[in-house]
Structure 1
Amino acid sequence: MEYRHLGRTGLKVSALSYGAWVSFGNQLDVKDAKLLLHRCREAGVNFFDNAEVYANGRAEEIMGAAIKELGWKRSDIVISTKLFWGGQGPNDKGLSRKHIIEGIKASLKRLDMEYVDLLYCHRPDASTPIEETVRAMNWVIDQGWAFYWGTSEWSAQQITQAWEIANRLDLIGPAMEQPEYNLLARDKVEVEYAPLYKNYGLGLTTWSPLASGVLSGKYSEGVIPEGSRFALENYKSLANRSLVDDILSKVEKLKPIAAELNVPMSQLAIAWCAKNPNVSSVITGATKEYQVVENMKAIEILPKLTPDVLKRIDSVVHNKPKQPDQYR
């Protein structure tokens, strides 16, 4: 496994990580989670991602119980969670000081941990001043409940504003952002955030490298395998948006490139994300042991992604963002 600094921080995270979204609590229990987490650690993964909203908190409970039963040394791993959707009450969601403090305390209780390493604002909150959020996240860090704070799916303008507030108040700014990033979703990471890497040392822990499984190639011809994510009732609308002819056609055209490299499509897609030097860690997901083993082998094919291969991939997906002159 390769370990990278989380942006400009001193923290090192595995280039490939594992996230509990969809799987923990919806498809997997503690016993299943233990096996998958064990396989991740065998592959050298040290970063595990979660959120208060995943399975309505059950994902945090499962991860915490599994890690406790596995007997892992807490300092050997990096755990993250995210706050925004904590419940149905008017103050159970958003990024107010009240919800951030109550939310992290509830998450830590579910995880059965004294702290998380990374704490994210899961989405921007238009109804709360960013200064209130910056101050609250710093207070959480001061209490030792989190070591670093960051954002998820914020705009570059919002992240910049948070940093300007933090600098003005001599506080800690967001060290990392967690955006969607894959061969089908590139603009935010490759263009919008471009100034932030240099200006603020922003690190990225990206999610959905397989575009919810589409880039694995398992949805060929729009067929939805039993037990897959798109077979879940809650994800059928996402399936309808994702399994369209244009996208499936691009996936089919990528398969020959993967075959020439002698790797599965899933590994090609994950490695492509990890090839970006601004990505600190690619968060993978899996519900089966063999999927974890296969996904983690993606780190081994990074050297195969030569400039020529990357150019061929770009010619297939045909969505490489145009860089503004000042970013080149």
Structure 2
Amino acid sequence: MGMEYRHLGQTGLKVSVLSYGAWVTFGNQLDVKDAKGLLSCCRDAGVNFFDNAEVYANGKAEEIMGHAIRELGWKRSDLVISTKLFWGGQGPNDKGLSRKHIVEGLKASLKRLDMDYVDLIYAHRPDTSTPIEETVRAMNWVIDHGYAFYWGTSEWTAQQITEAWDVAHRLDLIGPAMEQPEYNLLAREKVESEYLPLYKRYGLGLTTWSPLASGVFSGKYGRNNIPPNSRFALDNYKNLAQRSLIDEVLNKVDGLKPIAKELGVPLAQLAIAWCASNPRVSSVITGATKEAQVLENMKSLELLPKLTPAILDKIEAVVQSKPKIVDQYR
């Protein structure tokens, strides 16, 4: 089965339903040679959307991605490249969503990527110390100057996205076309409940991250098996290290394994396909450090037609994570 392409929300842009993100890998674990192999593997599978951010490996991830793409000699118009701005450095004006940082930060990202423009530019987090109007105007400025084609948000609240759209409507400017929230079998509140009114009202598209919940649904963690160098064990995931929480999560993982087995797929493929089965999701951002992982991730596409309502109900019965929907949004 070939790659499926979906419109990014209500825009005319089409993105592969499975995409590749450089978050944990480029610059931290991989060099240009590795990156070329991974990116080629993704392209062969039909991936056209590659996600990055100024903060990933302190800018190194953008440099490696740009370098690899240049060496591969790919046609720029075949690719959808994104980057995200918020944490750009140590100086007082190197972070946040001020006009200064958005313009300077994006120019610096483009230099590292060695590209004239990115397709998508995201506000990597909300910045409560900058007026939303300043951010909306700055995002429009970079679009007007051809540095980016679309702008969006990441991990903003529905309220903040609505404020941005109110400003955009009032000033006759472009509002945020897409949001990049975490979305997986354990994190569903934003996508399935909080953002509900925004899909219709603003045509919000979603590029979601962490389909495996930081590797929980890779199936590699067991009761007595939390590999010391895995992300589950790393310091910034210490908040997961409360025993009861871990037990609850591992029980869900164990409950999903028979469903994956019945479908004849690894658990990770089930978790990724489940994210992509939500029609609101324009693209599920996957990660991989090895080409074999890319191939495994991409096989999730073949599972999509098999995720019948009955199977989805079975999954829900195990994870029991569906958020309560507020009546007025039905």
TM-score computed with the length of structure 1 as normaliser:
0.97
Would the alpha carbon gap of residues 55 and 250 (structure 1) be closer, same or farther in structure 2, given more than 3 Å must change?
same
1:238 and 1:122 map into 2 onto residues whose CA distance is 22
Tell me what 1:10 maps to. Answer: 12
1:194 and 1:133 map into 2 onto residues whose CA distance is 24
Tell me what 2:123 maps to. Answer: 121
2:39 and 2:215 map into 1 onto residues whose CA distance is 20
Tell me what 1:221 maps to. Answer: 223
One-letter identity of the residue aligned with 1:208: S
1:202 and 1:73 map into 2 onto residues whose CA distance is 28
1:97 and 1:236 map into 2 onto residues whose CA distance is 32
1:239 and 1:37 map into 2 onto residues whose CA distance is 31
Task: Report deviation, 1:4.
Answer: 0.2
Tell me what 2:310 maps to. Answer: 308
One-letter identity of the residue aligned with 2:241: N
Give yes or no for contact 1:222–1:248 (8 Å, CA) kept in 2.
no
Task: Report deviation, 1:240.
Answer: 2.6
One-letter identity of the residue aligned with 1:50: N
Task: Report deviation, 1:228.
Answer: 3.7
Does the residue aligned with 1:48 lie in a helix, a strand or coil? strand
Task: Report deviation, 1:237.
Answer: 2.5
1:26 and 1:160 map into 2 onto residues whose CA distance is 36
Give yes or no for contact 1:196–1:202 (8 Å, CA) kept in 2.
yes
Would the alpha carbon gap of residues 192 and 184 (structure 1) be closer, same or farther in structure 2, given more than 3 Å must change?
same
Q: For 1:196-236, what per-residue CA distance to the aligned partner results, in whole angstroms no more than 9, with x for missing partners?
A: 000000000000000011011111225233664345x5545
Task: Report deviation, 1:325.
Answer: 1.9
Tell me what 2:181 maps to. Answer: 179
Task: Report deviation, 1:315.
Answer: 0.6
Aligned with residue 161 of structure 2, among 159, 169, 187: 159
1:139 and 1:240 map into 2 onto residues whose CA distance is 44
| 2:190 is equivalent to residue 188 of structure 1 | yes
Q: Give the length in aligned residue pairs.
A: 327
Aligned with residue 90 of structure 2, among 78, 88, 91: 88
One-letter identity of the residue aligned with 1:170: D
Gaps of at least 5 residues in structure 2 are none
Aligned with residue 37 of structure 2, among 35, 38, 45: 35
Aligned pairs for 1:100-115 (under 5 A) are: 100-115=102-117
| 2:221 is equivalent to residue 211 of structure 1 | no
| 2:262 is equivalent to residue 260 of structure 1 | yes
1:172 and 1:256 map into 2 onto residues whose CA distance is 47
1:56 and 1:238 map into 2 onto residues whose CA distance is 24
One-letter identity of the residue aligned with 1:41: R
Structure 1 segments, 4+ long, off by >6 Å, are: none
Give yes or no for contact 1:230–1:238 (8 Å, CA) kept in 2.
no
| 2:219 is equivalent to residue 240 of structure 1 | no
One-letter identity of the residue aligned with 1:240: A
Would the alpha carbon gap of residues 30 and 238 (structure 1) be closer, same or farther in structure 2, given more than 3 Å must change?
farther
Gaps of at least 5 residues in structure 1 are none
Does the residue aligned with 1:81 lie in a helix, a strand or coil? strand
Deviates more, 1:38-47 or 1:220-229: 220-229
Give yes or no for contact 1:222–1:244 (8 Å, CA) kept in 2.
no
Tell me what 2:24 maps to. Answer: 22
Task: Report deviation, 1:90.
Answer: 0.6
Would the alpha carbon gap of residues 228 and 289 (structure 1) be closer, same or farther in structure 2, given more than 3 Å must change?
farther
User: RMSD of aligned C-alpha atoms?
Assistant: 1.4
